[in-house]
Amino acid sequence: MISKHINSIIILFLFLLVSCQSNVQKDFTLNEISIIPQPKELELKKGSFTITKNTKVVINNESQRSIASYFIEKFYKASGIKLEISNSTNMRNSILINEKSGLTEEAYVLGIEDKTIKIEASSYGGFMYAFQSLFQLLPPEIESNSVQTDIQWILPNITIIDAPRYKWRGLMLDLSRHFFDKEYIKEVITNLAMHKMNVLHLHLVDDQGWRIEIKKYPKLTEKGAWRVDQESAAWKGRRETTAEEKGTYGGYLTQEDLKEIVAYGQSLNVEIVPEIEMPAHVSSAIASYPELSCLDKPIGVPSGGLWPITDIYCAGKESTFEFLEDVLTEVMDIFPSEYIHIGGDEATKTNWDVCPHCQKRIKEEGLKDTHELQSYFITRMEKFLNSKGKKLLGWDEILEGGLAPNATVMSWRGVKGGIEAVEQGHDVIMTPNSHCYFDHYQGPMNDEPKAWGGYLPLSKVYKFDPVVESMTPEQANHVLGGQANLWTEYVPTNEQSEYMIFPRIAALSEAVWSSKELRDWSDFSIRVKQLFKRYDVIGLNYAKSVYLVSSNSEISLENKSISLVLKNELSNSDIRYVLGNSELNTDAIKYTNPIEITETTVIKAALFEDDIAIGKIYIDTIKFHKAVGKTVKYENIYSDQYKGQGAFNLTNSIRGTKNFHDGQWQAWIGNDMEVVIDLENEQTIEKVSVGTMENQGSGIYFPVAVEVFTSIDGNSFEKQGETKRDYLQNADSSLKDFVVNINPINAKFVKVKVTNLGSPPNGGGSWLFVDEVVIE
């Protein structure tokens, strides 16, 4: 009898244990909470809430059904649990969606306690962001598109009160230089929403492709969307094509595709803003309809980067404006956005100078010059857009010749356009190329896929602030927000696009969402690594450049040693290294102080996390050749613009990278390099190498000859050998050592003469770049 009683107690106990298992309680700690962008206020409490199949999503009016369904669908995909919507007022085990009228648009309050999750906002966007924060509190597996078993969908008890700093939090995607299809664009929207970004600006028109179907002008996509396939050649190395050649490379979005994208954006609080370029960056339109240009000249759609592009819309012919109004009418039917972006950047106006139509317009309108003609053009388009209830947005060149009365400026050439616009009382969106151009490199150039140029690491994006200090509070109120721009000349695939956007968009999201006082790079360094776990689940090809180790070194002339500093962008990073042939494993030395190196050495280093090397391994050879630390006498001094490390730059054993601004290069424009190195005592010489670079796009060319002379007394030199090379077209950025092997000879002085190419076939000056003279 007693044992039976005990049995039922045990059974009851087991039952309780099983039923409680789905409701495990846990106390979270603050370092387990990682939300990007950082919320305004966050208060962590003891205890937790676990979402189970019995959790109800409670709405109190039908308009909340769509946001409830959004959450339910996403949760179902990852968990396999389909939560039910209910109108019950029972608070237990519920996610309550509550309208709260006092909150500003996009603001939200998320309260989680043992029995209830409460989500409050005054708009769809606010609810959306409450759920985004909720997702980031759940395990990373919530981002999965397939059912994940054995996951506790547990959330900390917490209160988050949050609102964005700016209303414009954007990304621009250039669809012209490379085309991206509807499915990929929807993925981008999904991932933008995750970062609480709310604008996707689509650059739909540019020289290299017209990407939007316009029913009244079918040739825009029949012809303008396709270019001759020269994808295997470098962007700037592609030949000019003719109007007769048939394009096969490209694509476009139909109006149906775009409407679907717009609707998808609305479901995630992302507004799609179209950009229809004018008056320049429109070769694709002129290739389709040559009469849109001043000279009616038939052209091909350019396959790559030809510059300058002089074929722009004629500002004199009335037919140009009829065409543009027709195009914009169809555009406005597709995009409900408040703003229409009309481009306006980089117009080379040489055709306007000679075109009788344009000249006639200038005279009739009493304009001063072609800048004012551009202003006339944009102002006229603004009148049209305003008459349809839309606002005009354009790149900062629309300031030139006078800003259209109601225009909003997108400041890209730094911040000065933005400052000028707010001074005139106009709204601006800040997207300075210094902090927002995601086509720039994000890590050391030698380790990164080819990019446009520039250097924009994650930590620099994190420093972005849309407001400039010199702005008055009233001017600052005209700053609507900020935006990242991804130009796609060097972005041919979805994977590469993801690589350029993520994680830099995470840093940008914090710059445009979180208040300035909350921004903290070392805290972000920790949170971004948690975000990477979510990116991994999504399957994003994000850049891990932030894991790279780089070096900085100094030579000590007294000690004849090199002091090597190892660096990583993240705060508090665990860098470990080995010298020589050792393997880089858990036994590697933890880097704390600069490493003294006194002989030729290979160094390997990496960032470690939990005792495991993550990211790419850094490998460098410090070569202690015979000239290290020796004095260099210059026959022609190097340019003031590229001094490298000064006096011992060529003999410090430190090599430059493909980034010609890395401070390791000395350069000569137009003239040759001639130096004499004093080896201090007689040594046997058998090989001299000169480190050079080529980047023809930037006017940097390999030399055509390297000659080596030696001397015992420093007065009479004898030529020992030379190496020559003819100019070759090279669209890449390349490093090369010019090696001169000589018969072994004793010498105290070595003279090295490096001959500049002088006059490049494509014109312009010719830079000669040298980082080291290696003597062996």
User: Which of the following is catalytic: 281, 426, 435, 440?
Assistant: 281
Find the shortest distance in angstroms from Cβ 346 to ligand ACM. 5
Identify whether the C-beta of residue 483 lies closer than 8 Å to the C-beta of residue 410: yes
Of residues 365-384, those binding Zn ion (CB under 5 A): none
Residue 29 CA to residue 776 CA, distance in Å, equals 59
Nearer to Zn ion, 207 or 427 (CB): 207
Find the shortest distance in angstroms from Cβ 363 to Zn ion. 13
Residue 703 CA to residue 587 CA, distance in Å, equals 44
State yes or no: cis peptide before 503, omega within 30 of 0: yes
Identify whether the C-beta of residue 519 lies closer than 8 Å to the C-beta of residue 466: no
Nearer to ligand ACM, 37 or 344 (CB): 344
CA 187, 192, 198 angle in degrees (round to 5)? 125
Identify whether the C-beta of residue 339 lies closer than 8 Å to the C-beta of residue 393: yes
**Tokens found for residue 122:** 């005054």
Find the shortest distance in angstroms from Cβ 476 to ligand ACM. 23
346 is catalytic: yes
Identify whether the C-beta of residue 117 lies closer than 8 Å to the C-beta of residue 133: no
Residue 706 CA to residue 739 CA, distance in Å, equals 8
Contacts 24+ apart (CB under 8 A), 585-594: 585/613, 586/611, 586/612, 588/613, 591/566, 594/554, 594/563, 594/564, 594/565
Stretch that binds Zn ion, among 99-107, 131-139, 312-320, 502-510 (CB under 5 A): 312-320
Report helix, strand and coil shares of the chain as percent, to nearest 5: 30, 30, 40
Find the shortest distance in angstroms from Cβ 191 to ligand ACM. 23
Find the shortest distance in angstroms from Cβ 433 to ligand ACM. 7
User: Which of Zn ion, ligand ACM, none lies near 180, with the C-beta cut-off 5 to 8 A by kind?
Assistant: none
Q: Using CB under 6 A, which of 114, 346, 447, 672 touches ligand ACM?
A: 346
Find the shortest distance in angstroms from Cβ 456 to Zn ion. 37
Residue 661 CA to residue 648 CA, distance in Å, equals 17
Stretch that binds Zn ion, among 12-20, 82-90, 262-270, 356-364 (CB under 5 A): 356-364
- Residue 355 found at the interface with Zn ion (CB under 5 A): yes
SS3 102: coil
Nearer to ligand ACM, 437 or 591 (CB): 437
User: Which of the following is catalytic: 141, 206, 207, 382?
Assistant: 206
Neighbours of 150 (CB within 10 A): 5
In the block, residue with structure tokens 């995009």: 335
Nearer to Zn ion, 81 or 295 (CB): 295
Q: Using CB under 5 A, which of 117, 137, 262, 294 touches Zn ion?
A: 294
Nearer to Zn ion, 173 or 294 (CB): 294
User: Which of Zn ion, ligand ACM, none lies near 358, with the C-beta cut-off 5 to 8 A by kind?
Assistant: Zn ion
User: Which of ligand ACM, Zn ion, none lies near 314, with the C-beta cut-off 5 to 8 A by kind?
Assistant: Zn ion
**Tokens found for residue 274:** 């179209």
- Residue 395 found at the interface with ligand ACM (CB under 6 A): yes
Strands 116-121 and 94-99: parallel
Q: For residue 587, give the DSSP letter.
A: T
Find the shortest distance in angstroms from Cβ 373 to Zn ion. 9
User: Which of the following is catalytic: 346, 400, 520, 609?
Assistant: 346
Q: Using CB under 5 A, which of 314, 399, 673, 677 touches Zn ion?
A: 314
Q: Using CB under 5 A, which of 37, 316, 417, 697 touches Zn ion?
A: 316
Nearer to ligand ACM, 346 or 420 (CB): 346
Stretch that binds Zn ion, among 156-164, 276-284, 308-316, 389-397 (CB under 5 A): 308-316
User: Which of ligand ACM, Zn ion, none lies near 129, with the C-beta cut-off 5 to 8 A by kind?
Assistant: none
Neighbours of 129 (CB within 10 A): 28
Stretch that binds Zn ion, among 197-205, 249-257, 310-318, 712-720 (CB under 5 A): 310-318
Number of chain residues interacting with Zn ion (CB under 5 A): 6
Q: Which residues of 304-319 are buried (b: 16+ CB within 10 A; e: fewer)?
A: bbbeebbbbbbbbbee
- Residue 235 found at the interface with ligand ACM (CB under 6 A): no
Phi-psi sector, 14: left (phi>0), alpha (psi -120 to 50), beta:
alpha
List residues bridging with 159 in a β-sheet: 43, 111
User: Which of ligand ACM, Zn ion, none lies near 412, with the C-beta cut-off 5 to 8 A by kind?
Assistant: ligand ACM
**Tokens found for residue 421:** 């616009």
Of residues 412-451, those binding ligand ACM (CB under 6 A): 412
User: Which of ligand ACM, Zn ion, none lies near 285, with the C-beta cut-off 5 to 8 A by kind?
Assistant: none
SS3 186: helix
Residue, CB closest to ligand ACM? 345
In the block, residue with structure tokens 């933008």: 192
Nearer to Zn ion, 294 or 328 (CB): 294
203 is catalytic: no
Q: Using CB under 6 A, which of 326, 345, 465, 520 touches ligand ACM?
A: 345
Stretch that binds Zn ion, among 217-225, 294-302, 533-541, 545-553 (CB under 5 A): 294-302
**What's the order of all strands across the beta sheet hosting 116-121?**
41-50, 154-162, 108-113, 116-121, 94-99, 56-58, 84-86
Find the shortest distance in angstroms from Cβ 217 to ligand ACM. 24
User: Which of ligand ACM, Zn ion, none lies near 395, with the C-beta cut-off 5 to 8 A by kind?
Assistant: ligand ACM
User: Which of Zn ion, ligand ACM, none lies near 672, with the C-beta cut-off 5 to 8 A by kind?
Assistant: none
Nearer to ligand ACM, 119 or 282 (CB): 282
Find the shortest distance in angstroms from Cβ 280 to Zn ion. 12
Number of chain residues interacting with ligand ACM (CB under 6 A): 4
Strands 168-174 and 199-203: parallel
Identify whether the C-beta of residue 423 lies closer than 8 Å to the C-beta of residue 475: yes
Q: Using CB under 5 A, which of 45, 74, 357, 450 touches Zn ion?
A: 357
Identify whether the C-beta of residue 92 lies closer than 8 Å to the C-beta of residue 115: yes
206 is catalytic: yes
User: H or E segment at 199?
Assistant: strand 199-203
User: Which of ligand ACM, Zn ion, none lies near 345, with the C-beta cut-off 5 to 8 A by kind?
Assistant: ligand ACM
In the block, residue with structure tokens 């060529």: 650
Find the shortest distance in angstroms from Cβ 382 to ligand ACM. 18
Rg of the chain, C-alpha, whole Å: 31
Residue 427 CA to residue 481 CA, distance in Å, equals 10
Q: For residue 534, give the DSSP letter.
A: H
User: Which of ligand ACM, Zn ion, none lies near 369, with the C-beta cut-off 5 to 8 A by kind?
Assistant: none
Nearer to ligand ACM, 395 or 749 (CB): 395
Find the shortest distance in angstroms from Cβ 450 to ligand ACM. 18
**Tokens found for residue 125:** 């966007």
What burial class does residue 447 get, using C-beta atoms within 10 Å of its C-beta: 0-12 exposed, 13-18 middle, 19+ buried? Answer: middle
Residue 243 CA to residue 250 CA, distance in Å, equals 16
User: Which of Zn ion, ligand ACM, none lies near 346, with the C-beta cut-off 5 to 8 A by kind?
Assistant: ligand ACM
Q: Which residues are catalytic?
A: 206, 281, 346
Q: Which residues bind ligand ACM (CB under 6 A)?
A: 345-346, 395, 412
Q: Which residues bind Zn ion (CB under 5 A)?
A: 294, 314, 316, 355, 357-358
